[in-house]
Amino acid sequence: MIIKKKAKWQLAESDATPESVYHQRRDILKKLGITLAALPLAGQVNAGLFDSFGKNAETPDRRRTLAGKSSSYSNPQLSLTPEDKILKYNNFYEFGTDKSDPAARAQNFKTNPWNIEIKGLVRNPFTLGYEDLFKRFTIEERIYRLRCVEAWSMNIPWLGFPLAALIKAASPTSSAKYVAFETLYDPDQMPGQASRRLGGGIDYPYVEGLRLDEAMHPLTLLSVGLYGKTLAPQNGAPIRLVVPWKYGFKSIKSIVKITLTDKMPPTTWNILAPQEYGFYANVNPKVDHPRWSQASERFIGEGNLFSSRRQPTKMFNGYEAQVAGLYRGMDLTRNY
């Protein structure tokens, strides 16, 4: 348990540390003759931050062109994070805890054939195959903000369809109150699932959940692509969730199972550190993480990672007008 929390602490804290302090720490280690690579966990994490945009070998682009119709739920005024940063700076612990690990290690991840199952408290359970993902629903483009709990953010042009469309097709019964999601479990393909060290101490498969009304909200997206192409494996191919008003960890990748249930489902980061990561995980600049402020964020745009501008974090990540009603009367300090 302690090791688990340490992995997340180091990852998040190094990310939330101002550039100057961060460099000072690196220099101190250097003077002591300690190379970052010699430190088991911190070494991996810190090296990842610096290497993400280094001389990464070009990987073959498996992505196919994908078009999406425009949507009134998109934010076309946002300045986009460059595509190469969305592709190279990732959290996908199944492939390792460094930001650069998913891009480096997920290139041969098999996403076709793929099956995603929807079941539980529904009248019409069904399974979608790989091609169904792109054919059965109308694909839209949604430019959304993404705010990671580690206090960095991106603006991403997703392609996908509302989760509500899928849930409606399954016809939930009146006892369905929550939706549970599960990522593929395949340690042969996902080195982080085969090794507790590489995988950050998480008990896989990665699981997430939403209240049914959150899942049915028109902003909640099942994404199958970004920047005009199908998803890269490191972004959660072939299908991942995107809930733009919640911290990034709610947006579970490479989903194989969606289950309607009457009980609040367990969620990976809440299991790991319940006092730090709640079920709701709504972006909230007034409720700090126990170990760092959530009032501002490092926006990843053009240029160097550390020259990225800091900007204030918005309530519900800028989607307050659309989603605040879902939480009326709830104490958001307790329901973090």
Ligand X SMILES: Nc1nc2c(c(=O)[nH]1)N[C@H]1C(S)=C(S)[C@@H](COP(=O)(O)O)O[C@H]1N2
Of 239-268, binders to Mo ion (CB under 5 A) are 248-249
Q: How far apart are CA 250 and CA 264, in angstroms?
A: 14
**Residue 284's binding partner out of ligand X, Mo ion, none, with CB under 5 to 8 Å set by partner kind:** none
Number of residue whose CB is nearest ligand X: 248
Q: Give 61: exposed, middle or buried? Use CB within 10 Å, 0-12, 13-18, 19+.
A: exposed
Q: Which is nearer to ligand X, 122 or 242 (CB)?
A: 242
Write down the least CB distance from residue 188 to ligand X, Å. Answer: 16
- Residue 272 makes contact with Mo ion by CB under 5 A: no
- Residue 277 makes contact with Mo ion by CB under 5 A: no
Q: How far apart are CA 300 and CA 99, in angstroms?
A: 13
Q: How far apart are CA 141 and CA 73, in angstroms?
A: 9
- Residue 86 makes contact with Mo ion by CB under 5 A: no
Q: Which is nearer to ligand X, 172 or 282 (CB)?
A: 282
- 3-state DSSP: the chain helix, strand, coil percent, rounded to 5? 30, 20, 45
Instruction: Provide the mask over 88-107, with x wherever binding to Mo ion is found by CB under 5 A and - wherever it is not.
Output: ---x----------------
CB neighbours of residue 226 within 10 Å: 26
Write down the least CB distance from residue 193 to ligand X, Å. Answer: 10
Q: How far apart are CA 204 and CA 126, in angstroms?
A: 24
Write down the least CB distance from residue 56 to ligand X, Å. Answer: 15
Q: Are 53 and 305 in contact (CB under 8 A)?
A: yes
Give the binding site for ligand X (CB under 6 A): 90-94, 146, 148, 183, 206, 235-236, 248-249, 251-253
Q: Which residue numbers belong to the known binding site for Mo-molybdopterin? A: 90, 93-94, 148, 183, 235, 240, 251-253
Q: How far apart are CA 254 and CA 232, in angstroms?
A: 10
Q: Which residues pair with 262 in a beta bridge?
A: none
Residues that bind Mo ion (CB under 5 A): 91, 148, 248-249
